[in-house]
Amino acid sequence: MTSTATTISSDALIHQLEWRYATKQFDPARKIDLETWRSLADSLVLSPSSYGLQPYKFIVVADSALRAKLRTASWGQSQIEDASHLVVFAIKKAMGKAHIAHYVDRIAQVRGVDRGSLAGFEGVMVGNLVDGPRAAAIDQWAARQTYIALGNFMTSAALLGVDTCPLEGLDPATYDAILGLEAEGYATVCACAAGYRSGEDKYASLPKVRFPESELIEIR
């Protein structure tokens, strides 16, 4: 882990955020190279989440037969099959004490600390998420953490010159059945296609439409 940050210019950041858009047509002949994909995979692993609990899993669907089935569960959207990579974002359903304990084990291992010293932190998480007020809506809480990862993935892709399209136009239950997620205790939230835009995608050249800063950002 580095102790100092390597920065890019403000102009470069804004340029890439202006460049990115929800790609409607991907070029199926262009694939993300292994080094770039490794960086994008790392962006998923390094995404922030509440308490650092990571109550999710990312399924990279490479099998063409599975992709064809998923397309039928995605309103027939071509991105499912044409993009270089397809990532399904799934929550860990009814996350409980076992997942929290597994995370605390991981903290002790990575940081080389006595697990007993983490008992207080573990108790706070259990008290809030399992025994406390969030327990009744724990799956919605997990879904919100998943969307943080989605945003992180898309921004990272834009900085690497990779196109993405977030996909909520899908049937989560059918995705779960096709991918066997229910038996694993996970549930689909959304998906994201990643690759390179087709030269025929008319949406690539359209101006980005956003409300003005004065309507979106308020200083009090």
Q: Tell me the torsion sign for CA atoms 140, 110, 181, 63.
A: positive
Q: What is the mean pLDDT of residues 51-70?
A: 98
> Domain with 193 in it: what CATH number?
3.40.109.10
Query: Is 106 domain-assigned?
Result: no
Query: Domain containing 151: what range?
Result: 24-92+138-198
Q: What is the mean pLDDT of residues 134-163?
A: 98
Query: Is 145 domain-assigned?
Result: yes
Q: What percent of the chain has pLDDT over 90?
A: 97
Q: What percent of the chain has pLDDT over 70?
A: 99
Query: Is 109 domain-assigned?
Result: no
Reply yes or no on whether the pLDDT at 185 is more than 70. Answer: yes
Token pair for residue 19?
A: 């460049």
* Per-residue confidence (pLDDT) for residue 155, from 0 to 100: 98
Residue 148 DSSP code: H
Reply yes or no on whether the pLDDT at 18 is more than 70. Answer: yes
Number of independent structural domains in the chain: 1
Residue 2's pLDDT band (cuts 50, 70, 90): low
Reply yes or no on whether the pLDDT at 1 is more than 80. Answer: no
Contacts of 78 (CB under 8 A, 6+ apart): 25, 26, 71
- The mean pLDDT of the chain is 97
* Per-residue confidence (pLDDT) for residue 4, from 0 to 100: 87
Query: Is 220 domain-assigned?
Result: no
CA torsion angle 170 172 177 180 (round to 10): 110
Token pair for residue 138?
A: 């724990």
